[in-house]
Structure 1
Amino acid sequence: MLFIGVSLCSDTALNSTGFNNRYQAKEAFYQRAKDIYDSGWETDTVIKLQSLFLLSFWRGSPTEERDVRFWLGAAISLAQKKGMHVMLKLSFLNTKDQKLWKRIWWALYVRDQQTSAALGLPPRIRDEDCQVADLEAIDFEESEPMGPPEIFRPPPAVHIPYVIGMAQLARLCMVSSNIGAMPFTDSLIFIDWESCLPKEMQFQMPTSREAMFLVGMLHMAYNNLYILLYRPLFLQPPVQSANPEGNVALDAATRSTRILEDMLSENLVQHGSVHLITHTFSALCIHTIHFGRVTGTARKLAEHRAKLCLLGLKELQKSWDLENWVLDLFFRCLDDRTARDLRLADPAMPSSTSQAGSGRNIEMSPASPASGLYRPRSPNAAYDILQSPNMMPHHNPGEEAAINMDWYELFNVEGDDVMGLAGSLSNPDYLNPQNLEFLYRFL
């Protein structure tokens, strides 16, 4: 809990812990929690399960074996061993334990589906193996107070429908992946879900910052499903008569960016969940490709939306460790001035050498985004670069720390070897759904 707490607490609260920065505090509490788990000191299975779930939010080095999938997989395996995936068959559960088990199981389910969709990997939980009732508002009602009211405050009114909505979206994500390449059928399912949302979760002007925050995150997750579903059509080479279905992904990315802009204006983005990173990155991919295809006002709008996504990612950096160089692939698609402005917007961002606390020394290029490889070579340079096999970092595959990237400090990986990217991007036509999913693994 302390590990997650220092990830999302205010700067004032963080300063009171005595740590120099957020990453140092997170690493310290993560190591302590991991050591307690490894020692086998805790005997309560439910507590161990909850701890494993929280440990899955650790974002370590590229080669670290105990990554998000490791901890999440351990939590899911333990839950299945305990029978949480078939709790409808169990008759010995009292009402209190049944509510707790349902909340835990659906938290695992949502995290598993979102992580799998982001990484392009199969989920560990299969619906055909499960017999679990859907989440309901009554599952969040407690007969006894949890503790002092000044510490355990009641959640905002939109909290419960938000959690239920996220569980429903996770189910839709699973259904969509099972149906296959039938976007129209999936869209009808999505539309039905949106039409059945309770009034407080409808996408409209929320009455409070808390409502804006939770409603915004729910609808960004919803829009991300459209992006994932229609992205293959959008990535097809543009033709004179554009496929209207391909624009569904662009429309979804635009809606997500508007939500992100509202959240940025209220200083809410940094408090978002870790999956807001991949949702924002998905929108950034779409806007960047669109930027290279259009001209005039449409091009300026695409650039503006991409810039908003970049600002959102920089805000998320305050809470989550974003120390990867994947975004550099997309900076080359922006014009020099935008890339340079974004680079200078954060004077605290390192630009020479970084050691991200994981034993890796990363040498960064002193060149600015406006020099060398970053300079657009033609009016259609953005699209040309996206199709170019040279749009990849040059490094020696045998040297783990030989990545030469200005933007490395923005990103980290979530469970894969950074050296595997070289082969995946060697094909000029690498911007296909499979390789975009591969890139997501490095967020």
Structure 2
Amino acid sequence: MLLSLFFKHVYPYTPVVDRCQLVADLQAGNCSSFLLHAIFSITVPYSDDTSLRHMGYDSVTDAQRAFFSRARLLFDFGCEANQLTLLQGSFLLSSFQNSFAPDKDCRFWLNQAVHIATLMGLHRRNVENELQPSLQRVCRRIWWLLYQRDIMFMLAGFENTRHINDEEVDSRPVCPEDWLETAPTAVSPPLLPAIPEVQIQFFIENCKLAKLGAECLRLSLTTDVAPSMSRVREIGQAIVDWRVSLPAGLRAEGSLYGNQTDIWQSVILIFGFRLECLFYRTVRRFSSSFSSSDREWVSQRLLGAMFDLSTVLRRAMALDILSAGPPALIVCTTQLLALQIETVLSPQCSRGTRHALKADINAMLAHLEDVKDCWLNAKWASRVFGWVVGRTGLSLREPELPRGSMASGPDGGHLSSNVPGAGEQPSQNHPQPEYLNDGYEVGQGGAFFDPSEGLPETWLEDMMNSGILEEQDRAIFDVMDMRMAF
């Protein structure tokens, strides 16, 4: 059952195995236990509660921890000797942005996978002459998966340096023929469903986007010299040209709505707009070197990309199709939240923009709350951002609360005092809440304040003292701290 879910939900964005060969090995009893447990660990979030109970687990987290731990132990004790299998399993285990083993987090597994791949020579074109065609196709897909993840980890702030040197890579780009499959003759696996063309197109286009991400990273890592506006506009236009040239199955024809049910169209658009957001935010760090018109242009492009990203994300949330997508969507959501909060807290943010972003912030936070039982990184993100939203008074409040009710923060603490019931006059027991000009409530002891004033300088210390970061994986906090990310 989990293997079927893997082929349906995980394989489209992680085609790290030969499907036919994997099924044949499983039927013949030759399948690697290390690889299987790595596959199951990343597939569990797509299973339902009934299936989890049948497997003997009470939650997704319990099941993931069990499968991950078994795979890690098999790796630690050297139970897997095949290099390709070690590469495949290590890459799958790098999908956990929140790790069950602090000494072997996502960075460890990605580094391990890149190390094995370069030892095998997968970054070089001439290695293909030594491989069978079916193995060539798998290895080429794996290499470009590593390239995508190497870029994504840098964009997400999980890494401070890249693992892959572009100047040393001459691997052939992936093409549709790399998804051709030939069933082994020794064992006849059951017929697997054909791979939809849109999934192949998604992977190929994501590779192109990763190359654009590499260009953005090269620009951003030169922090002592401001980039020229001509180069900024060139990269910005390249991202737009990439989106316009997407295949029909992935392109949003005339709007951001496109196909109402295809998850891969939404995912590729989300990834593209996320890259634009991070690119223009990085460029904005050099605004003091730009003219006033150039600063305005960069700010407008950043704000536009943020609203475009929010539009696609909120539409996908409303249609409930994000649950079928990759966990990287959670990272995109948290990065958008960080950008939105940063913008709202800026003194330059207009009243209208602040109110629009406030609605978006609460929508994103509500989505993280909805999926936190399936995705561990969503659980920690909802705690961190819930604390920030509550601390800054950006939380949307019900117009009336029942008598004696309390609004609770993410850590169970009370964020506001009791308010009178409907039609009840304020009294000493039920004081009238004080509101700022934009309608943000000021709690007792100044718990809330005008968002335009920004977070106080002690916000990081306050967060740590609140207990929000207890047992927190550092990776998701790095996403929140946009000064460190990208």
The partner residue of 1:105 within 143, 146, 160 is: 143
Distance 1:374 1:68 in 2: 40
CA distance in 1, matches of 2:394, 2:354: 14
- Name the structure 1 match of 2:448: 376
Counterpart in the other structure of 2:373: 318
* Offset at residue 330 of structure 1 (A): 3.5
Q: What SS does structure 1 have at the residue aligned with 2:79?
A: coil
Select the residue among 302, 310, 332 that pairs with 1:257.
310
Tell me what 2:462 maps to.
394
Per-residue deviation, 1:94: 1.9
CA distance in 1, matches of 2:62, 2:118: 34
Q: Deviations over 1:292-332 (max 9, x none)?
A: 44454433211111122212323442332132553246314
Q: Following superposition of structure 1 onto structure 2, how do residues 26-425 of structure 1 map, counting pairs within 5 Å?
A: 26-60=64-98, 64-119=102-157, 121-144=160-183, 147-149=189-191, 152-180=192-220, 181=227, 182-204=231-253, 205-207=257-259, 209=261, 211=262, 213-232=263-282, 243-292=296-345, 293-321=348-376, 322-323=379-380, 325-328=383-386, 330-332=388-390, 335=393, 337-338=395-396, 364=411, 366-368=413-415, 371=443, 375-377=447-449, 381-386=450-455, 388-394=456-462, 403-405=465-467, 412-413=472-473, 415=475
8 A contact 1:254–1:283 mirrored in 2:
no
Return closer, same or farther for 1:230/1:394 CA change in 2, 3 Å cut-off.
same
- The 3 A distance-change label for structure 1 pair 153 and 351 is farther
How far apart in 2 are the matches of 1:111 and 1:339?
Answer: 38
Q: Distance in 1 between matches of 2:349 and 2:412?
A: 31
Amino acid at match of 1:413: D
Q: Distance in 1 between matches of 2:175 and 2:50?
A: 36
- 2: CA distance, partners of 1:337 / 1:113: 33
Kept in 2: contact 1:271–1:319 (CA 8 A): no
Q: Alpha carbons of 1:183 and 1:148: their partners in 2 closer, same or farther (altered >3 Å)?
A: same
Once residues 372 and 54 of structure 1 are traced to their aligned partners in structure 2, the CA distance between those partners, rounded to angstroms, is 48
**2:35 equivalent in structure 1:** none
Instruction: State the TM-score, normalized to the length of structure 2.
Output: 0.72
**Equivalent pair of 2:148/2:206 in contact (CA under 8 Å):** yes
Tell me which moved more, 16-25 or 318-327. Answer: 318-327
Work out whether residues 344 and 354 of structure 2, in 8 Å CA contact, stay in contact via their aligned partners in 1: yes
Distance verdict in 2 for CA 1:59–1:291, change over 3 Å: closer
Structure 1 residue 49: Cα displacement: 0.7
Q: Which has the larger radius of gyration?
A: 2
Three-state SS of the structure 2 residue aligned to 1:110 is helix
- 2:156·2:335 contact (CA, 8 Å) conserved in 1? no
Q: Distance in 1 between matches of 2:243 and 2:40?
A: 35
| Separation (CA, whole Å) in 2 of partners of 1:163 and 1:374 | 49
Q: What one-letter code is carried by the residue in structure 2 that aligns with 1:85?
A: H
Distance in 2 separating the partners of 1:59 and 1:118: 10
Residues 223 and 253, structure 1, Cα contact 8 Å, conserved in 2: yes
Q: State the 1:56 CA deviation.
A: 1.0
- Looking at structure 1, the residues matched to 97 and 177 of structure 2 have their Cα atoms a distance apart, in angstroms, of 34
Cα distance, 1:61 vs structure 2: 5.9
Which whole-Å CA distance do the structure 2 matches of 1:109 and 1:270 have between them?
25
- State the AA in 1 paired with 2:361: A
Give the Cα–Cα distance (whole angstroms) in 2 for the partners of residues 85 and 232 of structure 1. Answer: 29
Q: Which whole-Å CA distance do the structure 2 matches of 1:175 and 1:272 have between them?
A: 26
- Partner Cα distance (1:21, 1:296) in 2: 43
User: CA shift at 1:338, angstroms?
Assistant: 1.2
Partners of 1:69 and 1:415 within 8 A in 2 = no
Name the aligned partner's letter for residue 241 of structure 2.
D
Distance 2:445 2:118 in 1: 50
Q: After TM superposition, give the deviation of residue 278 of structure 1 in Å.
A: 2.3
1:7-56 deviation per Cα after TM superposition (whole angstroms, max 9, x unaligned): 22233322322211111110011000111111212222111111001111
Does the aligned pair in 1 maintain the 2:141–2:174 contact within 8 Å?
A: yes
Aligned CA distance change for structure 1 residues 28 and 437 (closer, same or farther; 3 Å): farther
Contact 1:110–1:167 under 8 Å retained in 2: yes
Counterpart contact for 2:389–2:395, Cα < 8 Å = no
Q: Does the aligned pair in 2 maintain the 1:216–1:259 contact within 8 Å?
A: yes
| Structure 2: segments with no counterpart, 5+ residues | 1-38, 221-226, 400-407, 417-440
Q: Match of 2:197, as an amino acid?
A: A
CA distance 1:166–1:279, shift in 2 (3 Å): same
Alignment CA distance shift 1:156-1:374 (3 Å): farther
User: Partner letter of residue 43 of structure 2?
Assistant: G
Please say if residues 136 and 164 of structure 1, whose CA atoms lie closer than 8 Å, have aligned partners that are also in contact: yes
Structure 1 residues not aligned, in runs of 5+ = 342-349, 353-363, 396-401, 422-432
2:170 and 2:447 map into 1 onto residues whose CA distance is 55
SS of residue paired to 1:199: coil
Determine the C-alpha separation between the residues in 2 that align with 1:336 and 1:191: 32
Cα pair distance change 1:143/1:178, threshold 3 Å: same
For the 8 Å contact 1:220–1:256, the answer to whether it is kept is: yes
User: Could you report, residue by residue, the CA deviation over 1:358-387 in whole angstroms, capped at 9, with x for unpaired residues?
Assistant: xxxxxx46223775678433xxx213133x
Output the amino acid matched with 1:94. Answer: Q
Letter matched to residue 130 of structure 2: F
Task: Tell me the distance in 1 between the aligned counterparts of 2:118 and 2:444.
Answer: 53
C-alpha separation between the residues in 2 aligned to 1:234 and 1:106? 30
Cα displacement (A) at 1:223: 0.8
